[in-house]
């Protein structure tokens, strides 16, 4: 099997994973949009890889697909940043902060126990 076809299949698999992730976002519209945009970018990349496997590389159509894919990834990154700034990921940030606090407390406790 051609390596380009395998890459296209992986891009399709990633698109499905990101689309499923987007469907699970409830009450987080900007984050959901970010996952949808990156899923669309993966589909465009898969199309581009399919064109490359078919021998249609570096033509105006393939360059257009590449530009669209890069634009979609950029828009997804901006949407994810807007989600973070808008507080949509506050729960996850709080979980990470709590885990870091617990780790520091355990480490300090261990250090106190190790001191003679």
pLDDT tens across 50-65, in order?
888 888 878 888 889 9
**Top-confidence residue, 89 or 39:** 39
Cβ 4 vs Cβ 49: under 8 Å: yes
Do 28 and 66 belong together in one domain? yes
Do 57 and 95 belong together in one domain? no
Q: Is the dihedral of CA 24, 87, 97, 74 positive or negative?
A: positive
Do 81 and 94 belong together in one domain? no
Confidence of residue 13 (pLDDT cuts 50, 70, 90): very high
Cβ 88 vs Cβ 43: under 8 Å: no
Do 94 and 66 belong together in one domain? no
Do 42 and 29 belong together in one domain? yes
Of residues 19, 21, 69, the one with CA closest to residue 44: 69
Cβ 7 vs Cβ 67: under 8 Å: no
Q: Structural domain tally of the chain? A: 2
Give the range of the structural domain holding residue 33, as residue numbers without chain letter: 3-85
């Amino acid at each position: 099997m051609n390596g380009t076809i395998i890459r296209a299949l992986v891009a399709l698999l990633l698109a499905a994973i990101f689309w499923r992730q987007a469907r699970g976002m409830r009450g987080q519209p900007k984050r959901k949009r970010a996952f949808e945009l990156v899923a669309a970018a993966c589909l465009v990349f898969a199309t581009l890889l399919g064109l490359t496997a078919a021998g249609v590389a570096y033509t105006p159509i393939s360059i257009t697909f590449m530009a669209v894919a890069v634009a979609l990834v950029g828009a997804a990154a901006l949407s994810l940043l807007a989600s973070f700034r808008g507080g949509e990921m506050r729960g996850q940030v709080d979980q990470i902060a709590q885990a870091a606090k617990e780790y520091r407390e355990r480490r300090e406790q261990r250090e106190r126990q190790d001191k003679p």
